[in-house]
Amino acid sequence: MFKWSVTAMIIFIFLFPVPCRAKTPERIISLAPNMTEMLFALGLGDRVVGVTSFCDYPPEARKKPRVGGMSNPSLEAVVSLKPDIVVMTTDGNQKAFEERLRSLHLKTYVSRARRIRDLAKGIRDLGAALGVREKADRLAADYKARLERIEALKPAGPKKKVLFIVWPDPLIAAGPGTVIDDAIKIAGGINLAGRSIAEYPKYSLEAILRDPPDLIVIGPDMREQDSGSIRKLARGLLSRLRTLPVVKNHKVFYVSDDLYRLGPRTIRGIEELRRVMDE
């Protein structure tokens, strides 16, 4: 009995996200910023009828009706937009919310892609589920090719140690299991915070001095939104580290938020990271 129910559950879990029809839905709601970006990249932007308050890219996404945050969207808002499908992710959306939507007979699509190696498959699956398989396959092929290009051009010399700082005060670094960690490896570097036990560890200043990085990357530098506050906040940190060659030799770089989400901009983010690593 137990065995049977476990088997049934496994079958159920595997069956569920697999799309049944490949007809393009007319009304799509996205509950994650990276999914919104993928939908726009797949040319489905016109069909997106609702997004979260975090969905700020591409700029057109900001004009879409909001249904709330990622972890706490408004059920009422989602239902009232009469979506044909609600696109979600396992990285930030609540499973309970998805169950609630299904109990109201709304169709959902949950993307399980979390790492860069899942990206191509992620967009292909999404495209298949939403009836834009060809476009998705083309995008996936493009991502793959660009990734291979970056990986093929291994930088000369020893691997560079990179510290990717996502918040300067208090100091939070990108650790293992993150898109940024993947990106550093793909770009041919070593993530200094890669062996922490948390995804976004509070990183020790002492550790930086003991084991200094070859370059420091600070993000996201989005002037229009933060009015450059990340640079202001980082000033204190950098003055604490001013004795290190990495700071003396100006190997501190500010990057965009391309690597903060697994989506169409991720590859561009890796390319950007690679560029600053070569500088």
Q: Where do we find the tokens 């979506």?
A: 83
Write the burial class of residue 260 (CB in 10 Å: 0-12 exposed, 13-18 middle, 19+ buried): buried
CB of residue 254 vs another protein: minimum separation in angstroms?
A: 13
Does residue 77 interact with another protein by CB under 8 A?
no
Structure tokens at 3: 């065995």
Do 26 and 47 touch, CB atoms closer than 8 A? yes
Decide: helix, strand or coil at residue 162: strand
Does residue 204 interact with another protein by CB under 8 A?
yes
Residue 124-163 contact track with another protein, rule CB under 8 A, x = bound? ----------------------------------------
Does residue 5 interact with another protein by CB under 8 A?
no
Given candidates 46, 76, 99, 169, which one binds another protein under the rule CB under 8 A?
169
Strand ranges across the sheet with 108-111: 48-50, 28-30, 85-89, 108-111
Does residue 43 interact with another protein by CB under 8 A?
no
Rounded distance between C-alpha atoms, residue 175 and residue 30, angstroms: 27
Given candidates 43, 65, 69, 245, which one binds another protein under the rule CB under 8 A?
69
Q: Which of 21, 55, 19 is nearest to 40 (CA)?
A: 55
Does residue 197 interact with another protein by CB under 8 A?
yes
Q: Is the peptide bond before 264 cis (omega within 30 degrees of 0)?
A: no
Residue 50, Cα to own-chain centre: how many angstroms?
Answer: 19
CB of residue 54 vs another protein: minimum separation in angstroms?
A: 5
Question: Would the CA dihedral through 22, 101, 38, 117 be positive or negative?
Answer: negative
Does residue 170 interact with another protein by CB under 8 A?
yes
Q: Which is nearer to another protein, 120 or 216 (CB)?
A: 216
DSSP state letter for 59: G
The footprint of another protein on residues 206-245 (CB under 8 A) is: 206-211, 220, 225-230, 232, 235-237, 239-240, 243
Structure tokens at 36: 């919104």
Does residue 164 interact with another protein by CB under 8 A?
no
CB of residue 265 vs another protein: minimum separation in angstroms?
A: 15
Q: Which is nearer to another protein, 59 or 157 (CB)?
A: 59
Binding site for another protein (CB under 8 A): 53-54, 56, 69, 166-167, 169-172, 175, 192-193, 196-198, 201-211, 220, 225-230, 232, 235-237, 239-240, 243, 257, 260
